[in-house]
Structure 1
Amino acid sequence: MILGIDVGSTTCKYVLVDDRGNILDKAYERHNTKTAEKVYEFLKKLEENFGFKPGRDRVYFTGSGATLIAPLVGGKFVQEVVAVSTAVEKLHPDVRFVSEIGGEDMKAIFFKEVDGKRVKQVFMQNACAGGTGTFIEKTARKLGIPQEKLGSMGYKGYNLHKVSAKCGIFAEADVNTLQKAGVPPEEIMASLFEAVVYQNLSQLTKGNTPMWKVLLLGGPNLFFKGLREAWRVHLQRIWKEKGLRDCTDQEMEELVVVPENSLYYASLGCVFYAMEEEGGVYEGLDRLRWWIEEGQYQEKLKEGKRGLVSSEEELREFLKEYEGQYKKIVPKKVKRIAIGCDFGSTTAKAVCVSEEGEPVFSCYQISKGNPIEDAKSIFRQIREFFGDDVEVIGLGLTGYGKDLLKDVLGADCAVVETVAHATGAMHFFKDADCICDVGGVDVKILILRNGSVVDFRLNSQCSSGNGAFLQGVAERFNIPLEDIAKLAFSAKAIPNFTMGCGVFLQSDIVNQQRKGWKAEEILAGLCAVLPLNVWIYAGNINNLAQVGKKFVLQGGTHKNLAVVKAQRDFIKSKVPEAQVFVHPYPGEAGALGVALLALETKGKSQFRGFDAVENLTYRATTSQETVCRWCPMNCQRTFIDVFVGEGEGRPWSKVPLERGWLRLIVGNACPKGLVEDESELKILQQELRRVQDEFPNIAQIARKTAFKPKRASQKVH
C-alpha cells in the first residue's frame, strides 16, 4: 500500500491506495496545531483497520507541517506544489490553470505548452493569512454567521464594497468599518469573496492570464459557494475584455470546476509521485511517539524559551496576588443613577453609578455594526433591571460612537477615551503614575503627574499588541477566550516572536506553527511579546523608569491573567521597585469613568428617556448618492437617518430627509465626509480655523519663524 499524507496549516489529509491504485481510505480533519499527534492518530488507525505495515508499505508526506514529521516514520517529503502539480497532470491533462486556497496559504499554477513540452509556472503566497480560508472563517464568526450558512452564501446580486485581501490586518479594518456602517453581513461576505479572487488575479498571478480549463482546489474553493461564483464572474469578464472568449454562465460552470477529491490533490500527488520512484518505506510509530512525548519539548527549549511560569509555586503566588484585584459590579437597585456608555470598536458597554459614585450595574453588547441597535440593546438591559421609576441624572458617552449618538440619545457629555479612562482609573488609584489600557483594537498609555495627564500615547493603526489580535488567534485555534490564560500558563516552552507589525507577527505565527509549536505555546508566546508591542512598538517608551513607579493595567485584554503576568514581569524587569495593579473593573474602566463625569454635570439631564431610545426608528442608506466627492478618495459613506421628532430635515440632499429626522454619517475618512453640501463645508472649515486659532500649533509657528528668510537691510556688493 502507498499512503499520501498532507500536513497543512490547519488540517491533515490522507489518501491510502493499494498496489493497483485503488483508493482504500481517505480522511480530512483539523489538527488544531497538534500536527504530530494527528498524524500519529491517522497511522495508528490505518495499522489497525487496514493492516498498514512497517517494512512493507510506503508513506509520502507533503504540506507546510510535514518536514519534521516525515523522517520520524521513514516517510519521504514531496514539496506541496510538486505534489499538487503531479496530481493535476495525471488526472486533468487539459487543465491550464489551478488555484488552490488553503487554510493559511494560496497557490496559483499555470500549465503551458513550450516547444511541445508541458511546463508549469508556480506562484505562492504564504506570508500572510489574508484572503485564505482561515480569514474567511474568522470574518464569518465576527459577523455571527454560522458555519452551515457560510457555505451557501452567494456572491452574485449583492452590492460590493472595498475590502483589502492583500493584507489580513487591513482587511479586518475594512470589515470593521463596513460593520459599523451597518452594511448587511451578506454584502460584507460577498465583498470578501470578491477581494480574495481579485487578490489572486491581480497579485498572485503576476500579470499572467489564467486560461481555460480552470481547476479550483482546497477547502475554501470547495466549501464556499460565493467564492466559486466570484471566480467564474471575474474570469468570464477577463476573457471577454481580452477578446479571448465570450462565455455564457452555463459554459463557465464547465470551464471553471471544482473536481471530486479536490481536498486531497496534494495527498494524491504524493501517491502518484511514490508510484514513479522507490523509498519512503514505513518504519512504524516508535520514533514519532518519542517525539510527541519527549523530543519536541527538548527541541523547543533549544529554539524558544521557558514558559510564562517556571513552577506551580510561582503560578500560585502570582494568582494569589492578582486574582483578588478583580471585582464584579454587584447589581444594586437605586432610585437615581448616572449612566456611562463606552461604544467601542468591538463591544458597547455601560456602567451605572449611584449619586455617591458607587457602581451599581453594568452590561455590554457585542457590537452589531450599527450604533443605534447597540444603544437600544444597552438601554433595554438597564431599563429591565432598574424599572421605569429610576431617574437618570446624567448620561455620558465615550468611544468611537460618542459623536454619532450624542444628539440621538440626549447625552450630557461626550468625552474622548483618554479622559474617560483616566477618570475611571484615578477613581481607585489617585496617585497612579501611568495607566496602560489595552482594548480591542487600540492601545492607550496615559502618563500622569499629580493627578493630571501630562502625556499620552495612542495606537489604533496596527493590531499588534491589542486584544482583538489575541482573540483572533485563539478563535483560529477554537479556544474560548476564558481558557486562554489557563492554556498559556500550561505551556512549558514558548516560541520567540518578533516585536512589531501585526502583519509580520501573523506571518511569524504561521511559521512557528509549521515548526510544530502548539496552540497553547503560541498563545503564551503572544502574551509574552505583548508588553514589547505595547510599551516599545506602540507606546514608543524605551525608558519605563522615567514614566514612574505606580502602573495601572486596564482594558478588557487585562482580564487575561497570562497577559497581566507578562506585563508585570516586563515592567519589573525595567523598574524593579514598580508597583503594578490591575483595575478592579478592567473592561468597564472607560464606561465607569464617563459615568462619573456625567454625575458631575449640573442641571436636569438631557437624556431623551428609555421609551424614546427603544422606539428609535432609523434607516441606513449606502449607495452612489452617499459617496463623498470632496476629494479623490471617494469614501463609500453610509447615511443612518434616525427619527427624533425634531429638526428641519434635508429636502435638498441627494438622499432627501424629512422633517423630524436626524442624519448620522459613517464611513468617512476625514471631517469633510460629515457634510453634504458647500454651505455645510464652509461652516466646518470656519470651525476648524477657529479651533486652530484658539489652539495654535506652537511647534509649527516656531519652525516657520526660525526658518523665515530675513529681508536684506542693505545691498550686498
Structure 2
Amino acid sequence: MFLGIDVGSTTCKYVLTDDSGNILDKAYERHNTKQAEKVLEFLTKLEESFGLKAGRDRVYLTGSGAGLIAKLIGGKFLQEVVAVATAVERLHPKVRFVSEIGGEDMKTIFIKEDDGKRNRQVFMQNVCAGGTGSFIEKSARKLGIPQDLLSRMGYKGYTLHKISSKCGIFAEADVNSLLKAGVPTEEIIASLFEAVVYQNLSQLTKGNTPLPEVLLLGGPNLFFKGLQEAWRHHLRELWRERGIGDFSEEEMERLVYVPENSLYYACLGCVYTAMEEEDGLYTGKEKLEWWVKEGQYEEKLKEGKRGLVNSQEELRVFLEKYGSAVSNRVKTKKAKKVIVGCDFGSTTAKAVCITPEKEIVFSCYSLSKGNPIEDAKEIFRQIKEYLEDGEVLALGITGYGKDLLKDILGADVAIVETVAHATAGLHFFPDADCICDVGGVDVKILILRQGSVVDFRLNSQCSSGNGAFLQGVAEKFHIPLNEIAQKAFSAKAMPTFTMGCGVFLQSDIVNQQRKGWQAEEILAGLCHVLPLNVWIYAGNINNLSQVGKKFILQGGTHKNLAVVKAQVDFIKSKVPDAEVYVHPYSGEAGAIGSALVALEIWQKQKTTKFRGFEAIQNIEYRAITSQDTVCHWCPINCQRTFIDVKLPEGEGRPWSKVPLEKGWVRLIVNNSCPKGLVEDERELKVVKEQMEKVKKNFPNISQIVRKSAFRKLKSVL
C-alpha cells in the first residue's frame, strides 16, 4: 500500500491507496497544534483497520509540519508544491493554472507546455495569513457568522469595499472600520472574497496570465461559494481584457472549477511519487510514539523556557495578590439618578452608571453586533431595565463609535479614549506614574506627572500586543476566552517568540507547531512576549525606570491573569521596586472615565442632551453604499457609507446625489480624511478653511525647515 500524509498548519490529511492507485481510505481533520499526535492517531487506525505494515508499505509526507515526523516513521518528505503539481498533471492534463489556498498559506502554480515538455512556475506566500483560510474564518467569527452560513454566502451582486489584501493585520483594521460604519455583513464578506482573489492575482502571479483551465484547491476554495464566484468573475474580466476569450458564465463554470478530492491533492501527489520511486519504506510508529510521550518535551526544555510559573506556590502567591482584582465585578446597587458612561469599543460595547457622588452602581456590556447603532440600542435596553423609572442626568461616550453616536444618542460629551482611560485610572490611583491600557485592537500607554498626562503612546496599527491577537490564536486552537489563563499556567515549558510584527508572530507560531509545541505552551509563550510588544515594540519605551514606579494595568486584556503575570514579571525585571496594580474594573475603565467627565459637565450645567430610552430604541436609520457615495475630492476615491438617521431636527439634503428628506440627518463614514465628510463644494470650502486655521495655529516645523533649506539651496545654485 501507499500512504500520502499532508501535515498542514491547521489540519492533517491522508490518502491510503493500493498498488493500483485505488483509494482505500482518506481523512481530513484539524490537529489543534498537535500535529505529531494526529499523525500517530492516523497510523494507529490504518495499522488496525487496513493492515498498514512496516517494512512492506511506503509512506510519503508533505506540508509545513512533515519534516520531523517523516524521519521518525521512515517516510520521505516531499515539498508540498511538487506534490500538488504532480497530482494535478496526472489527473488534469488540460489545467494550466492552479490556486491552492490553505489555512495559513497560498500557492499558485503555472503549468506551461513547450515542445511537448511541461514546465512549472510556482509562487508561494507563507509569511502572512492575509488572504488565507484562517484570515477569512477569523473575520467571520468577529462578524458573528457561523461556519455553515459563511460557506453559503455569495460574492455577486454586493457593493464591495476596500479591504487590505497584502496584510492580515491591516485587513482586520479595515474590517473593524466597516463594522463600525454599519456596513452590512454580507458586503463585508463579499469584500473579503474580493481581497483574497485580488491578493492571488496581483501578488502571486508575478505578471503572468493564468490561462484556462483553472483548478481551485484547498479548503477555502472548496467550502466558500462566494470565493469561487469571485475567482470566476475576476478571471472572466482578465481573460476578456487580455484577449484570451470572452466566455459566458456557463463556460466559466467549466473552465474554473473545484475538483473531487480537492482537499487531498498534496496527499495524492505523495502517493503518485511513491509509486514511481523506491524510497519511503514505512518503519512503524514506535519512534513517533516515543517522540509524543517523551522526546518532544525534552527538546522543548532545551529550546524554550520554563513556564510562566515555576511552582504551584508561586502561582498561589500571585493569585492571592491579583486574582481578586481581575475577577472584580461592579456590584449593582439601586439608584434613581445616574450619570451614564459608554465605551463603544472594537469588540464590545460597555456602559457604567455612577451616582453624582461618583459611586459606580451598575455596569453592562454587549458583544459588538457589527453596527454601532444596534450596539447602542442593546446597551441602553439593559440600562433602562436597571433604572426602571429612574433618570439619566448626563451621558458621556468614548471609543471607536463615539463620533457616529454622539448626536444620535444626545451625548453631552464625546471623549477621546486617552482622556477617558486616564480619568478612570487616576480616579482610583491619583498618584499613578503610568497607565497601561491594552484593549482589543490597540495599546495605550499614558505617562503621568502629578495627575496630568505628560506623554502618551498609542498603537492601533499592529495586533501583536493586543487582546484580539491573543484571542484569535486561542479561537484557532478552540480554547474559550475565559480558559486562556488556565491553559497558559498549565504549561511547564513555553517556546521563545520574537518581539514585533503580528504577521511574523503568526509565522513563528506555525514554526513552533512544527516542533511539537502545543496550544497551552504557545499561549504561555504569547503571554510572555506580550509585555515586550506593549512596552518596547508598540510603546517604544526602552528605559522603563524613567517612566516611574507606580504602574496601573487596565483594559480588557488585563482580565487575563496570565497576561498580568507576564506584565508584572517584565515590569519588575526592569524596575525592581515597582508597584504594579490592576485597575479594579479594568474592562470598564473607558466607560468609567467618560462617565466621570460627563459628571463634571453636569455639575456645571445641570442639563443634558440625552434623548431618552424610548427615542434610542425607536431610532430609524439606513446605511447606503453605492457609486453615488464615493468621494471624489482626491484620487483615493474612498468608498464611503452614508448612514441616514431619522431625527426631529434633521434638515435633510434634497440637493444631494442621494437625496435626503427633511427630518433626517446624514452621517458619513469610511472616509480617510476630513474632506470625505462633505458632499458639495460649499461644505468643502468650510472644511478647508478650518484646516488652514489649524495649520496656521500649529505650523508643521519640518515642512518649514524643508522649504527654507531648499530656498537657500536654490539661491546658491
TM superposition score category, shorter chain reference: over 0.9
Shift of 1:19: 2.5
Structure-2 separation of matches of 1:571 and 1:484: 22
Partner in structure 1 of residue 652 of structure 2: 649
Q: Is this contact kept in 1: 2:34–2:513, CA < 8 A?
A: no
CA distance in 2, matches of 1:403, 1:256: 45
Residue identity opposite 1:368 in structure 2: K
Aligned mates of 1:699, 1:442 — CA distance in 2: 29
Instruction: Kindly state the Cα deviation for residue 701 of structure 1 after the two structures are TM-superposed.
Output: 10
* Partner SS for 1:447: strand
Q: Note the C-alpha offset of 1:514.
A: 2.8
Q: Which residue of 2 aligns with 1:615?
A: 618
Q: Secondary structure at the match of 1:340?
A: strand
Superposition pairs for residues 209-224 of structure 1, below 5 Å? 209-224=209-224
Would the aligned equivalents of 2:366 and 2:375 in 1 still touch at CA under 8 Å? yes
After superposition, the Cα gap between the structure-2 partners of 1:157 and 1:702, relative to the gap in structure 1 and judged at 3 Å, is closer
Q: Structure 2 counterpart of 1:685, which letter?
A: K
Aligned to 2:486: 486
For 1:606, the equivalent position in structure 2 comes to 609
Decide whether aligned partners of structure 1 residues 411 and 284 sit closer, same or farther in structure 2, where only a CA change above 3 A counts: same
2:239, 2:584 → 1: CA distance? 62
Aligned to 1:636: 639
Q: Does the CA-based 8 Å contact 1:307-1:524 persist in structure 2?
A: yes
- Checking the alignment, whether the CA contact within 8 Å between 1:434 and 1:551 is kept in structure 2 is yes
Q: Does 1:367 align with 2:371?
A: no
**Residue 341 of structure 2 contacts residue 352 of structure 2 at CA under 8 Å; is this kept in 1?**
yes
Distance 1:124 1:572, change over 3 A: same
Query: 2:528 & 2:633 partners in 1: Cα distance?
Result: 45
Matching of residues 665-676 of structure 1 within 5 Å: 665-676=668-679
1:698 and 1:106 map into 2 onto residues whose CA distance is: 44
Q: Is 2:550 the partner of 1:550?
A: yes
User: Equivalent residue for 2:391?
Assistant: 391
Provide, for residues 603-645 of structure 1, a one-character-per-residue CA deviation record: whole Å limited to 9, x for no partner: 1222111111111111111112211222111111111111110
Residue 702 of structure 1 and its aligned partner are, at CA, apart by 9.1
Tell me the matched-pair count. 709
How far apart, in 1, do the equivalents of 2:619 and 2:112 lie?
61
Which moves more between the two structures, 448-457 or 398-407? 398-407
Q: C-alpha displacement at 1:272, in angstroms?
A: 0.9
What letter is aligned with 2:468? A
Aligned amino acid, residue 256 of structure 1: V
Q: Which amino acid aligns with 2:507?
A: S
Corresponding residue of 2:684: 681
Q: In the alignment, residue 172 of structure 2 is paired with which amino acid?
A: E
Q: Alignment partner of 1:600: what SS?
A: helix
Q: Could you say what secondary structure the match of 1:427 adopts?
A: helix
| Unpaired runs of at least 5, structure 1 | 711-717
Superimposed CA distance per residue, residues 67-98 of structure 1 (whole angstroms, 9 cap, x where no aligned partner): 01111111111111111111112212222111
**Alpha-carbon distance between aligned partners in 2 of 1:568 and 1:102, rounded to the nearest angstrom:** 38
In structure 2, relative to structure 1, the CA distance for the partners of 1:690 and 1:116 (3 Å cut) is closer
For 2:624 and 2:134, locate their aligned partners in 1 and report how far apart those are by CA, in whole Å.
Answer: 31
Shift of 1:308: 1.3
Once residues 6 and 709 of structure 1 are traced to their aligned partners in structure 2, the CA distance between those partners, rounded to angstroms, is 64
Letter in 1 for 2:637: N
Give distance in 2, aligned partners of 1:300 and 1:595. 49
Alignment of 1:565-584 (within 5 A): 565-584=565-584
- Cα distance, 1:705 vs. partner? 12
For the 8 Å contact 1:432–1:551, the answer to whether it is kept is yes
Shift of 1:224: 1.0
Q: Would you say the 8 A contact 1:558–1:586 is kept in 2? A: yes
Q: Output the CA distance in 1 between the equivalents of 2:202 and 2:710.
A: 48
The superposition leaves residues 180-209 of structure 1 with CA deviations (integer Å, 9 ceiling, x where unpaired) of 222211111111111111211111011111
Q: Equivalent residues in 2 for 1:64-79 (5 A)?
A: 64-79=64-79
Letter of the 1:696 partner, please give it.
F
Q: Is the Cα contact below 8 Å between 1:484 and 1:523 reproduced in 2?
A: yes
Aligned partner of 2:263 in structure 1 is 263
1:659 is matched with 662
Residues 238 and 702 from structure 1, CA distance in 2 versus in 1: closer, same or farther, beyond 3 angstroms?
closer
SS in 1 for 2:68: coil
Structure 1: distance between partners of 2:74 and 2:502: 38
Correspondences of 1:250-649 after superposition (within 5 Å)? 250-326=250-326, 327-387=328-388, 389-601=389-601, 602=604, 603-649=606-652
- Shift in Å, 1:691: 4.5
Rounded Cα–Cα distance in structure 2 between residues aligned with 1:686 and 1:122 = 53
Q: CA offsets, 1:106-134, max 9 Å, x none?
A: 11111111232122111111111111111
| Maintained 8 Å contact 1:180/1:368 | no
SS class of match (1:158): coil
Take 2:706 and 2:597, find their aligned partners in 1: how far apart are those partners? 39
Change (3 A) 1:2 1:416: same
Q: What's the TM-score, normalizing by structure 1?
A: 0.96
Give the whole-Å Cα distance in 2 for the aligned partners of 1:413 and 1:242: 56
Quick one: structure 1 residues 700 and 197, their matched pair in 2 at CA, closer, same or farther if it must change by over 3 Å?
closer
Aligned-pair CA distance for 1:517 = 2.1
Q: CA deviation at 1:502?
A: 2.0
Mapped contact 1:101–1:220 kept (Cα < 8 A) = yes
Cα 1:154–1:708 change in 2 (3 A) is closer
- CA displacement at 1:369 relative to structure 2: 2.6
Instruction: Check the 8 A contact 1:489/1:524 in 2, yes or no.
Output: yes
CA distance in 2, matches of 1:28, 1:409: 50
Q: Measured at CA, do residues 689 and 2 of structure 1 come closer, stay the same or move farther in structure 2, by a change above 3 Å?
A: same
Separation (CA, whole Å) in 2 of partners of 1:559 and 1:403: 27
Higher mean C-alpha deviation, range 682-691 or range 424-433? 682-691
Contact 1:647 1:659 in 2 (8 A): yes
Aligned residue identity for 2:698:
P
Taking the aligned partners of 1:550 and 1:132, their CA distance within structure 2 comes to 43
Distance in 2 between residues matched to 1:213 and 1:492, nearest whole Å: 51
Could you say which residue in structure 1 is the equivalent of 2:715? none
Query: Partner of 1:535: helix, strand, or coil?
Result: helix
Paired with 1:177 and 1:595, the residues of 2 have a C-alpha distance of 25
Structure 2 unpaired stretches of 5+: 713-717
Secondary structure (helix, strand or coil) at the match of 2:665 reads: strand
Worse-matched range after superposition: 212-221 or 652-661: 652-661
CA distance in 2, matches of 1:702, 1:667: 31
Change (3 A) 1:242 1:692: closer
Partner secondary structure for residue 67 of structure 2: coil
1:339 Cα deviation (Å)?
A: 0.1
- In 2, distance between residues paired with 1:105 and 1:181? 30
Question: What's the CA shift for 1:673?
Answer: 1.4
The offset of 1:709, in angstroms, is 8.5
Q: Give the Cα separation in 2 of the matches to 1:651 and 1:64.
A: 59
Residue 212 of structure 1 deviates from its aligned partner by 1.5
3-state secondary structure, aligned to 2:109: strand
Identity of aligned residues (%): 75
Q: What is the distance in 1 between the residues matched to 2:419 and 2:436?
A: 13
SS at match of 1:350: strand
Aligned partners of 1:358, 1:60: CA distance in 2, in Å?
67
TM-score, normalised relative to structure 2: 0.96
CA distance in 2, matches of 1:643, 1:236: 42
Q: Is 297-306 or 632-641 further displaced after alignment?
A: 297-306
CA distance in 2, matches of 1:634, 1:97: 33
> Are the counterparts in 1 of residues 13 and 264 from structure 2 also a CA contact under 8 Å?
yes
**CA shift digits 1:642-684 (9 cap, x unpaired):** 1110132222222222222222111111122112222222323
Structure 2 Cα separation of the partners of residues 627 and 53 of structure 1: 65
1:689 offset after TM fit, Å? 4.1
Q: Deviations over 1:198-247 (max 9, x none)?
A: 21111101111111221111111111111111111222222222222222
Which moves more between the two structures, 497-506 or 568-577?
Answer: 497-506
Assess if the C-alpha contact under 8 Å between 1:498 and 1:529 holds in 2: yes
